[in-house]
Amino acid sequence: MFIVAGLGNPGNKYDGSRHNIGFSVIDVLSARLNAPLDFEKHRAFCGTAVYEGTKLMLAKPQTFMNLSGESVGELVRFYKIDIPTQLLVISDDVDMDFGRIRIRKSGSAGGHNGLKNIIAHLGTQEFMRLKIGVGAKPPAWDLADWVLGAFPKEDAERLKEIREEAADAVLSIIKDGPDRAMNKFN
Protein backbone atom coordinates (compact mmCIF):
# COMPACT_ATOMS: atom_id res chain seq x y z
CA MET A 1 0.00 0.00 0.00
CA PHE A 2 1.27 3.44 -0.95
CA ILE A 3 -0.46 6.42 0.70
CA VAL A 4 -0.61 9.74 -1.17
CA ALA A 5 -1.92 12.46 1.15
CA GLY A 6 -2.73 15.86 -0.30
CA LEU A 7 -2.92 18.59 2.31
CA GLY A 8 -5.57 21.27 2.56
CA ASN A 9 -8.43 22.60 4.64
CA PRO A 10 -11.92 21.07 4.48
CA GLY A 11 -14.96 23.09 3.50
CA ASN A 12 -16.14 25.12 0.53
CA LYS A 13 -14.70 28.30 1.98
CA TYR A 14 -11.17 27.02 1.28
CA ASP A 15 -11.76 25.58 -2.21
CA GLY A 16 -9.29 27.07 -4.64
CA SER A 17 -7.01 28.48 -1.94
CA ARG A 18 -3.23 28.24 -2.16
CA HIS A 19 -3.15 26.00 0.91
CA ASN A 20 -5.51 23.53 -0.80
CA ILE A 21 -3.34 22.78 -3.80
CA GLY A 22 -2.58 19.35 -2.28
CA PHE A 23 -6.32 18.57 -2.23
CA SER A 24 -6.64 19.63 -5.87
CA VAL A 25 -3.80 17.32 -6.98
CA ILE A 26 -5.55 14.43 -5.19
CA ASP A 27 -8.70 15.35 -7.15
CA VAL A 28 -6.74 15.14 -10.43
CA LEU A 29 -5.30 11.74 -9.43
CA SER A 30 -8.74 10.52 -8.35
CA ALA A 31 -10.18 11.34 -11.78
CA ARG A 32 -7.19 9.99 -13.70
CA LEU A 33 -7.05 6.70 -11.83
CA ASN A 34 -10.83 6.26 -11.61
CA ALA A 35 -10.48 6.25 -7.82
CA PRO A 36 -13.39 8.23 -6.37
CA LEU A 37 -12.87 9.54 -2.85
CA ASP A 38 -15.90 7.59 -1.73
CA PHE A 39 -15.13 6.61 1.85
CA GLU A 40 -13.87 8.25 5.01
CA LYS A 41 -11.16 6.59 7.05
CA HIS A 42 -9.09 8.00 9.89
CA ARG A 43 -10.51 11.50 9.40
CA ALA A 44 -9.66 11.62 5.68
CA PHE A 45 -11.67 11.34 2.49
CA CYS A 46 -10.11 8.37 0.70
CA GLY A 47 -10.11 6.46 -2.53
CA THR A 48 -8.11 3.47 -3.71
CA ALA A 49 -6.59 2.46 -7.01
CA VAL A 50 -3.90 0.23 -8.45
CA TYR A 51 -1.23 1.89 -10.57
CA GLU A 52 1.59 -0.05 -12.22
CA GLY A 53 0.92 -2.94 -9.83
CA THR A 54 1.02 -0.75 -6.72
CA LYS A 55 -2.07 -0.35 -4.56
CA LEU A 56 -2.62 3.32 -3.74
CA MET A 57 -4.68 5.13 -1.21
CA LEU A 58 -5.43 8.74 -2.08
CA ALA A 59 -6.25 10.77 1.03
CA LYS A 60 -7.49 14.26 1.80
CA PRO A 61 -7.17 14.74 5.59
CA GLN A 62 -10.18 16.56 7.02
CA THR A 63 -8.45 17.68 10.24
CA PHE A 64 -7.53 21.13 8.87
CA MET A 65 -4.03 21.89 7.66
CA ASN A 66 -2.35 22.49 11.00
CA LEU A 67 -3.53 19.12 12.35
CA SER A 68 -2.82 17.03 9.24
CA GLY A 69 -0.54 14.72 11.21
CA GLU A 70 -3.46 13.39 13.23
CA SER A 71 -5.09 11.90 10.14
CA VAL A 72 -1.89 10.96 8.29
CA GLY A 73 -0.45 9.34 11.41
CA GLU A 74 -3.59 7.23 11.89
CA LEU A 75 -3.52 6.08 8.25
CA VAL A 76 0.17 5.17 8.45
CA ARG A 77 -0.27 3.20 11.67
CA PHE A 78 -3.45 1.42 10.52
CA TYR A 79 -1.95 0.27 7.22
CA LYS A 80 1.49 -0.39 8.78
CA ILE A 81 3.29 1.18 5.84
CA ASP A 82 7.00 1.84 5.59
CA ILE A 83 7.03 5.62 6.04
CA PRO A 84 10.16 6.47 3.97
CA THR A 85 9.08 4.41 0.95
CA GLN A 86 5.27 4.26 1.05
CA LEU A 87 4.10 7.73 2.11
CA LEU A 88 3.98 10.80 -0.11
CA VAL A 89 2.63 14.12 1.16
CA ILE A 90 1.63 16.89 -1.27
CA SER A 91 1.71 20.45 0.06
CA ASP A 92 1.98 24.09 -0.93
CA ASP A 93 5.21 26.04 -0.49
CA VAL A 94 5.40 29.83 -0.18
CA ASP A 95 9.18 29.80 -0.52
CA MET A 96 9.00 28.55 -4.11
CA ASP A 97 7.94 30.39 -7.25
CA PHE A 98 4.37 29.84 -8.39
CA GLY A 99 4.14 26.57 -10.28
CA ARG A 100 7.52 25.15 -9.37
CA ILE A 101 7.46 21.52 -8.24
CA ARG A 102 10.01 19.98 -5.92
CA ILE A 103 10.21 16.37 -4.78
CA ARG A 104 12.11 15.50 -1.62
CA LYS A 105 12.69 12.16 0.11
CA SER A 106 12.90 13.81 3.53
CA GLY A 107 13.54 17.13 5.19
CA SER A 108 12.32 19.66 7.69
CA ALA A 109 8.89 21.25 7.75
CA GLY A 110 10.36 24.47 6.40
CA GLY A 111 7.88 26.52 8.42
CA HIS A 112 4.85 24.66 6.98
CA ASN A 113 2.51 23.88 9.89
CA GLY A 114 0.87 20.91 8.17
CA LEU A 115 4.23 19.25 7.56
CA LYS A 116 5.35 20.17 11.08
CA ASN A 117 2.31 18.38 12.53
CA ILE A 118 2.89 15.31 10.35
CA ILE A 119 6.51 15.13 11.50
CA ALA A 120 5.36 15.39 15.13
CA HIS A 121 2.80 12.59 14.73
CA LEU A 122 5.08 10.28 12.75
CA GLY A 123 8.16 10.96 14.85
CA THR A 124 10.27 11.29 11.71
CA GLN A 125 11.09 13.66 8.86
CA GLU A 126 11.91 10.68 6.63
CA PHE A 127 8.92 10.70 4.28
CA MET A 128 8.58 11.79 0.68
CA ARG A 129 6.96 15.07 -0.13
CA LEU A 130 5.96 16.88 -3.26
CA LYS A 131 5.92 20.63 -2.76
CA ILE A 132 4.17 22.98 -5.14
CA GLY A 133 5.21 26.62 -5.21
CA VAL A 134 2.41 29.09 -4.60
CA GLY A 135 4.70 32.12 -4.61
CA ALA A 136 5.86 34.37 -1.82
CA LYS A 137 3.33 36.55 -0.06
CA PRO A 138 3.36 40.19 -1.06
CA PRO A 139 4.98 42.45 1.57
CA ALA A 140 1.70 43.98 2.75
CA TRP A 141 -0.04 40.61 3.19
CA ASP A 142 -0.39 38.48 6.30
CA LEU A 143 0.91 34.94 5.61
CA ALA A 144 -2.35 33.28 6.71
CA ASP A 145 -4.38 35.55 4.42
CA TRP A 146 -2.03 34.72 1.54
CA VAL A 147 -2.17 30.92 1.85
CA LEU A 148 -5.90 30.90 2.59
CA GLY A 149 -6.57 33.25 -0.33
CA ALA A 150 -7.66 32.05 -3.74
CA PHE A 151 -5.45 32.07 -6.79
CA PRO A 152 -6.29 34.97 -9.13
CA LYS A 153 -8.57 34.09 -12.05
CA GLU A 154 -5.83 34.93 -14.55
CA ASP A 155 -3.80 32.01 -13.13
CA ALA A 156 -6.59 29.44 -13.74
CA GLU A 157 -5.13 27.91 -16.91
CA ARG A 158 -1.59 27.77 -15.49
CA LEU A 159 -2.96 26.28 -12.27
CA LYS A 160 -4.63 23.48 -14.22
CA GLU A 161 -1.27 22.69 -15.89
CA ILE A 162 0.50 22.74 -12.52
CA ARG A 163 -1.97 20.29 -10.99
CA GLU A 164 -1.60 17.95 -13.98
CA GLU A 165 2.21 18.15 -13.81
CA ALA A 166 2.12 17.46 -10.06
CA ALA A 167 -0.10 14.41 -10.71
CA ASP A 168 2.43 13.26 -13.32
CA ALA A 169 5.16 13.65 -10.71
CA VAL A 170 3.23 11.55 -8.18
CA LEU A 171 2.76 8.75 -10.70
CA SER A 172 6.43 8.95 -11.66
CA ILE A 173 7.44 8.56 -8.00
CA ILE A 174 5.30 5.43 -7.77
CA LYS A 175 6.39 3.94 -11.09
CA ASP A 176 10.05 5.00 -11.33
CA GLY A 177 10.99 5.79 -7.73
CA PRO A 178 11.73 9.14 -6.12
CA ASP A 179 15.27 9.56 -7.46
CA ARG A 180 14.25 9.29 -11.10
CA ALA A 181 11.18 11.45 -10.46
CA MET A 182 13.38 14.11 -8.83
CA ASN A 183 15.67 14.14 -11.85
CA LYS A 184 12.67 14.61 -14.13
CA PHE A 185 10.55 17.13 -12.17
CA ASN A 186 12.83 19.13 -9.84
- β-pairing verdict for 44-51 and 54-61: antiparallel
What is the helix (H) or strand (E) element at residue 51, kind and residue range? strand 44-51
First and final C-alpha spacing in the chain: 25
For helices 156-176 and 178-185, angle between their N-to-C axes, nearest 10 degrees: 150
The answer to whether 20 touches 9, Cβ cutoff 8 Å, is yes
Pairwise CA distance, residues 45 & 54, whole Å? 20
d(CA 36, CA 148): 26
Sign of the torsion angle spanned by Cα atoms 172, 10, 21, 182? negative
List % helix, strand, coil for the chain (3-state, nearest 5).
Answer: 45, 25, 30
Any catalytic annotation for residue 112?
Answer: no
Please tell me which residue in 19, 42, 112, 121 is annotated as part of the active site: 19
Handedness of CA 177, 96, 67, 148 (dihedral sign): negative
Active site residues: 19
